[in-house]
Amino acid sequence: MAAAAVGAEPQIDLAAVAGVYKHRFRNGDVSGARFQGEDILEIVPLTTTTVYLKTHLDFLNGHTCGIHGVADVDGDALVMTDGSTNAVDPLGHRCVLTLRVLPTALRFEDPEQICKSLNCGVRGGFNGVEVARATRRPIRYLKLLKDSADFRTAVDEHRASHAELPLPP
C-alpha cells in the first residue's frame, strides 16, 4: 500500500476517530477459570495524515496481542509499518498492520499474519478484529501517554523515515 501523499487531503476525519476505545468482557481459559478481559485501542493524531496507534487485545487463556506505532492515512485506513528491528519475521517479512475505518467500526487487517506472529500469543491475532466506534471516548491521560517511552520511540522511529513528521506537542 502506498502512503498518503504529503499535502493531500486526508480521507479520514482523524478528529472523529481519535480517542480511546475500550471493551471489557468475560474471558477464560481451557480449565474453565473465568476472568475479565479488556481490549483497548488508543488513537492520537500527530498531523493531518498520521496518528499514534496503540492497542492491547485479550484472548482465551490469557493470550494477548499488543502493538504500538505511528500509522499513516491511506485511503479509508490507517496503516502502520512497524519500523523497529524486531518487526521482521524469520523469513524477512515486515509487520504492516491496517486499521480500516468503517462507518460503525474500526477493523484490523493483518492478512499475512506477520504482525500476529511477532506481537501475539498463540490464541491471539489482529486480522478481522473489530472495535465499535460507539465505544470511543476522549483520552483523559493524553499527557501521560505522550510522555511515555512507547510514544516517543514510535514517533522517533517514524520520523527517521518520514522527515515531514513534526515533533508532537
pLDDT at residue 84 is higher than 80: no
pLDDT at 166: 57
Query: What pTM was computed for the model?
Result: 0.85
- What letter represents residue 114's amino acid? I
- Tens digit of each residue's pLDDT (9 = 90 or more) over 88-105: 777 888 889 999 999 999
| Angle at alpha carbon of residue 103, lines to 106 and 45, rounded to 5° | 55
Residue of 3 and 46 predicted with greater confidence: 46
Mean pLDDT (the chain, rounded) = 86
φ, ψ for residue 74, nearest 5 deg: -140, 95
Q: Which H or E run includes 49?
A: none
| Residue 146 CB contacts under 8 Å (≥ 6 apart), including other chains | 44, 168, 169
Residue 83: predicted pLDDT: 56
| pLDDT(86) > 60 | no
Widest CA span of the chain, in angstroms? 54
Closest CA to 127 of 73, 69, 65: 65
- Confidence band, pLDDT 50/70/90 cuts, at residue 161: confident
Percentage of the chain exceeding pLDDT 90: 59
Give the sign of the dihedral formed by CA 136, CA 14, CA 163, CA 91.
positive
Does residue 59 or residue 108 have the better pLDDT? 108
Residue 27: exposure state from Cβ atoms within 10 A (0-12, 13-18, ≥19): middle
Kindly list the distances between the CA atom of residue 96 and the CA atoms of 37, 71, 84, in Å, as whole numbers in the listed order.
Answer: 25, 10, 12
Neighbours of 57 (CB within 10 A): 24
Average pLDDT over residues 23-37: 82
Q: What is the pLDDT of residues 36-79, one digit of tens each?
A: 888 999 999 999 999 999 999 988 777 889 999 999 999 999 99
Give CA–CA dist 124/59, Å, rounded: 6
Contact 127, 111 (CB under 8 A): yes
